A and B are shown apart, each in its own frame.
Chain A
Amino acid sequence: MINYKDRKGSKKDRAIRKLTLLIPIILLLFIASSCIREDEYANNPQGNLDALWTIIDEKYCFLEYKEINWDSIYTVYQKRLTTSMSSEDLFEVLGDMLTELKDGHVNLYSASNVARYWSWYEDYPRNFNESIIEDYLGTDYRIAGGAKYKILDDNVGYVYYESFSDAIGNGNLDEILQYMAICNGIIIDVRNNGGGNLSNSTTFAARFTNEKILTGYIRHKTGKGHNDFSDPVAIYLEPSSSIRWQKKVIVLTNRHAYSATNNFVNSMRYLPQVTILGDKTGGGSGMPFSSELPNGWSVRFSASPYFDAEMNQIEFGIDPDIKVDMLSSDEDKGIDTMIEAARTLLKN
């Protein structure tokens, strides 16, 4: 049994007890006053424009490189808002605002539409005819992972890879390269490949180098300022430990080779036995992130820029080593000018 005197304790004990009570109370008050909450925007035309403008202002990675005056763009598009405008009209205004970024990785998604900027290939020659590709492949081509491949009658290997979203594993690549071992060279056609997974791009390119080589750099934003970037981090292409191709390679490109495909072309162009042939690629060197608006529309934007090995921007594409366009006279005859140019080059 503890009597009252014992409970009261010494002065030191009482001080300790008071401190024991006081410290948690102070900490509780501090925590209660330190709530980390969202910046709320109203779900109306003004609130949605403000939210979208802020996302791009703080997170988009090419505002300085593209010399975009984002403040003045706000003024221009804010004038197009009305309080009673329809959802479709608001979508058009916000979509138009994003078009100012001239970026294929920038989209606004509503339930009824996708705002996009596709001029990076729509304004240029198509340089690709799918039905002609089907003629070249015939009906007896092989498929491994996302690649369709065949040995053409002049002993040239032809690989068509239409999307880096389609996985291609090391097992697939072993089979393709073994099958093509008898060829004089191979054509890798990545025209109209709009990109996908960067890992597929790297896995594929690793089959064509015997050495670790520098292919580029990456940076990321470190804060909300337009110029807040990390130091560049070098990106190396490491040789595959499995079958590696030692003969000539020609990569076919057009303006619709974008994003991860742009990255693949960038890696391949540093390899000595590889020639890039066709049209300039579409670019798309900013790794995209997603965010959203108060009304639930999703927005995608470039967040983290890739550079080539000389720290040049490749957002607007990579020039080929040999510029070749499809000739309409060839197309009329079912001939792919670019494949034929590649075959000729491989024979020499």
Chain B
Amino acid sequence: MQANRYLMRATMYGVGFANVYDTYLSPQEYVGTDFRISRETMRITKLFDGNVSVQNFFQANISYTHNKVDNNNTFAGLVNWNYGLHYQFRITDNFKLLAGGLADLNGGFVYNLRNTNNPASARAYINLDASGMAIWHLKIKNYPIVLRYQANIPVIGVMFSPNYGQSYYEIFTLGNSSGVVQFTSLHNQPSIRQILSVDCPIGSSKVRFSYLWDMQQSRVNQIETHTYGHVFMVGFVQDLYRIRNKKGTPLPSAIRVY
């Protein structure tokens, strides 16, 4: 048995509050509901004597939001993929701190249902995140639970944004893409994703409840945007052991899935 072959996998479904703001479309913040799914895997690697873990986190959300007097709506969606490494500081047997970095890829849209020539705004940005995590295994009256807090902060990246008063027609039909990809860092993209989760064993399964605070902000080309999500999620956690089959020997037919 090898530590690097243990895999934690969690699939989550959530709903929560959304606040979407994009001055390219409207000077107002739109608020409404966020629907989200996520899938995460984590495992220990062989790096640094087995003290480094790899995390693969994918999430997708869609929100439906309304302006202040509720006479107009927007749809917004974002797909986000994080992949990176954490060094694990094992403080005690039950408590550890993780610090590392993640590649953070994002693509999505905001669609304003009433606007005419500027109905939508694309979201596309890539970041290198600083990431920290605390994991605490504890028992409440002999009931074992796992608490986790994670924060990811984009430190450096690039972002697509139209220029201040530029139409997408000028960018994509006339081909003027000058200045539409900008360098980003903490000064113009102060964003953070935070997850607080608790894993509870129920029977032979492990159920995870989590609260995700997703705060994406930017001030690029004098266009201000934010997407705030406060999402409560629930799902199952699976602990898996990966078996390597180098020779490609077929499994016995009695246990083959297909």
* A contacts, CB < 8 Å to B: 1-2, 7, 16-17, 20-21, 23-24, 27-28, 30-31, 34-39, 43, 51, 54-55, 59, 61, 111, 198-199, 218, 220-224, 228, 230, 233, 235, 287-292, 294-296, 298, 300, 303-304
Give the shortest distance, in Å, between A152 (CB) and chain B (any CB).
35
A235-B174 contact, Cβ under 8 Å, with A43-B68, A51-B27: yes
Contact B226 A36 (CB under 8 A): yes
User: In the complex the two chains form, is A290's CB within 8 Å of B190's CB?
Assistant: no
B176 touches A59 (CB 8 A): no
Question: How far is A48 from B164 in the complex, measured between Cα atoms in Å?
Answer: 23
Contact at A59–B26, with CB atoms within 8 Å? no
A294 to B68: give the CA distance in the assembly, Å.
Answer: 7
Contacts A296-B68, A296-B72, A300-B116 given; does A38 touch B27 at CB 8 Å:
yes
Chain A residues with CB under 8 A of B219: 36
Contact with A along B86-107 (1 / 0, CB 8 A): 0001111100010100000000
Chain A residues whose CB sits within 8 angstroms of the CB of B169 once the complex forms: 198, 287
Bound together, the chains give a CA A299 to CA B172 distance in angstroms of 25
How far apart are the CA atoms of A233 and B226 in the complex, in Å?
Answer: 30
User: In the complex the two chains form, what is the Cα distance from A256 to B166 in whole Å?
Assistant: 27
Q: List 14 A-B contacts (CB under 8 A).
A: A28-B192, A31-B191, A35-B217, A36-B190, A39-B27, A43-B69, A199-B173, A218-B174, A222-B164, A290-B115, A290-B119, A291-B26, A292-B114, A304-B170
Chain B residues with Cβ under 8 A from A16's Cβ? 89
Closest 4 CB pairs of A and B: A221-B165, A34-B190, A296-B69, A290-B115
The residue that A37 contacts in the complex, of B192, B218, B226, with Cβ under 8 A, is: B226
**Shortest beta-carbon distance from B216 to chain A in Å:** 10
Expressed in whole angstroms, the minimum distance between the Cβ of A15 and any Cβ of chain B is 12
Q: Is the CB of A36 within 8 A of B27?
A: no
Known: A31-B191, A230-B166, A304-B167. A290 touches B117 (CB 8 A): yes
Contact status of A28 and B151, CB under 8 A, knowing A51-B27, A55-B27? yes
Q: Which residues of chain A come closer than 8 Å to B224, judged between CB atoms?
A: 36
Give the distance in Å from the alpha carbon of A43 to the alpha carbon of B68 in the complex: 9
B167 & A24 in contact (Cβ 8 Å cutoff): no
Contact A224 B163 (CB under 8 A): no
CB of B222 closer than 8 Å to a CB of A:
yes
| Nearest CB of chain B from residue A132's CB, rounded to whole Å | 32
User: Which residue of chain A lies nearest to B30 when distances are taken between CB atoms in the complex?
Assistant: A38
**Chain A residues whose C-beta falls within 8 Å of the C-beta of B91 in the assembled complex:** 7, 17
What is the distance, in angstroms, from A116's C-beta to the closest C-beta of chain B?
14
- Number of B interface residues at 8 Å Cβ cutoff, please give it: 54
Of the residues A1, A199, A291, A296, contact of B27 by C-beta under 8 Å = A291
Shortest CB-to-CB span from A21 to chain B, Å, is 7
Cα distance A136–B178 in the bound complex, in angstroms: 49
A-facing mask of B1-40, CB < 8 A → 1, else 0? 0000000000000000000010001111100000000000
Whole-angstrom CA separation of A28 from B79 in the bound complex: 24
Chain B residues lying within 8 Å of A233, measured Cβ to Cβ, are 170, 174, 176
Evaluate whether A7 and B116 lie within 8 angstroms (CB atoms) in the complex, with A292-B72, A294-B68 already known.
no
* A61 CA / B176 CA spacing, docked (Å): 18
Residue among B70, B97, B192 making CB contact with A20, cutoff 8 Å: B97
Q: State whether A36 and B217 are in contact (beta carbons under 8 Å apart), knowing that A28-B192, A288-B116 are contacts in the complex.
A: yes
In the complex formed, the residue of B with least CB distance to A300 is B116
Bound: A104/B69 CA distance, A? 27
B114 adjacent to A298 (CB under 8 Å):
yes
C-alpha spacing A221/B221, complex, angstroms: 10
B67 contacts the other chain (CB 8 A): yes
Q: How far is the CA of A86 from the CA of B119 in the complex (A)?
A: 30
Closest to A198 in B: B169
A221 and B164 in contact, given A7-B91, A39-B27 (Cβ under 8 angstroms): yes
* B249 on interface, CB distance cutoff 8 Å: no
In the complex, residue of chain B having the shortest beta-carbon distance to the beta carbon of A218: B170
Residues from chain B with a CB closer than 8 A to the CB of A294 are 28, 68-69
Say yes or no: B68 contacts A21, CB within 8 Å: no
CB <8 Å contact, B118 and A289: yes
Q: In the docked arrangement, what's the CA distance between A86 and B195, Å?
A: 48
Q: Say whether B222 contacts A38, CB under 8 Å.
A: no
B135 at the interface (CB under 8 A from A): no
- Indicate if B240 sits at the interface (CB-CB under 8 A): no
Tell me, in angstroms, the Cα distance from A290 to B218 when the chains sit together.
21
Q: Return B68 CB to nearest CB of chain A, in Å.
A: 6
Do A27 and B130 have beta carbons less than 8 Å apart? yes
Report the separation of the CA atoms of residues A223 and B224 in the bound assembly, to the nearest whole angstrom.
Answer: 12
